[in-house]
Amino acid sequence: MIEFTLWDILRNLLFAARWTVLLSVVAFIGGTVVGLAVLFARISEHKLWRRAAFGYIELFQGTPLLLQLFLIFFGLPQFGVQIEPWTAAALGLTFYASAYLAEIWRGGVEALPIGQWDAAAALGLRRWQELRLVILPQAFRITLGPTVGFLVQLIKATALASILGFEELVRTADALNNATFQPFRVYGFVAVIYFVLCFPLARFARRLEDKGPVRA
């Protein structure tokens, strides 16, 4: 058994936590970009786009995230596409986030009174302009709390990247536990780090939801 001080354990976990945070940020940004595209398709006037977006959302919400990561990491090489654990984790979490964010935002769009659409149409705006200038800004304000709340779930979901061999917080904790045989201490630190990352965001999301939509 290798002797590790408390500081040695904590230092290694804090270093790994940087990769957890980075993966969360990349997946959230990627999920935002892809989620917007899915949202536009979901509320499109064209039935084919709506059905495609509905199928996309059902696929990623209706299957386990771990299975999605496995299909990307182990499935793509079967087609000659070699992929690193970091890339597989980022892609998998991006697709996962985009499906949930698109639905959160769609709920905000549908929560708006029909009069908002009528007012935008009365101004002579095109469909894209209606969305960009009138509908989406209000929908995003309504759903700001749930969006931040989903980020908390995304941070915790990054733990599954350890299964792919990506050296994030949980993967590093496993290695430290195998070296020190101190599971309570090692995983206790991991729990504290996740709590420090997630608790402020969860409180912020709850505060946003309690306040209601932000007025322009």
Q: Per-residue pLDDT tens for 41-57?
A: 999 889 999 999 999 99
The set of residues, in sequence order, having a beta carbon less than 8 Å from that of 101 and lying 6+ positions away, is 31, 32, 35, 39, 147, 150
SS3 of residue 121 by DSSP:
helix
Give the span between the Cα atoms of 150 and 130, in whole angstroms.
27
SS3 of residue 211 by DSSP:
helix
Q: Per-residue pLDDT tens for 165-177?
A: 998 999 999 999 9
Amino acid letter, residue 70? F
Query: Is the pLDDT score of 35 beyond 80?
Result: yes
- Give CATH for domain 6-211: 1.10.3720.10
pLDDT averaged over every residue in the chain:
91
Q: What's residue 216's pLDDT? A: 41
Asked if residues 155 and 197 have their Cβ atoms less than 8 Å apart, the reply is yes
Integer angstrom CA distances of residue 30 from 69, 83, 91, 180, 190? 16, 18, 8, 37, 26
Q: Per-residue pLDDT tens for 90-147?
A: 999 999 999 999 999 999 998 888 877 777 777 777 777 778 778 888 888 999 999 9
Q: What's residue 122's pLDDT? A: 76
At 213, is the pLDDT very low, low, confident or very high (cuts 50, 70, 90)? Answer: low
Domain ranges of the chain: 6-211
- CA 113 to chain centroid, in Å, comes to 28
Question: What is the mean predicted confidence (pLDDT) over 61-87?
Answer: 95
At 23, is the pLDDT very low, low, confident or very high (cuts 50, 70, 90)? Answer: very high
The rounded radius of gyration (Å) of the Cα atoms in the chain is 21
Q: What's residue 57's pLDDT? A: 97
Cα angle 186, 192, 193; round to 5: 90
Q: What's residue 2's pLDDT? A: 59
Tokens of 119: 């007012």
Three-state SS for 1-39 is CCCCCHHHHHHHHHHHHHHHHHHHHHHHHHHHHHHHHHH
At 214, is the pLDDT very low, low, confident or very high (cuts 50, 70, 90)? Answer: very low
The set of residues, in sequence order, having a beta carbon less than 8 Å from that of 36 and lying 6+ positions away, is 102, 105
φ/ψ of 165, rounded to 5, equals 95, 5
Tokens of 95: 């697709």
Residue keyed to tokens 């290694």: 12
Q: What's residue 18's pLDDT? A: 95
Query: Is the pLDDT score of 215 beyond 60?
Result: no
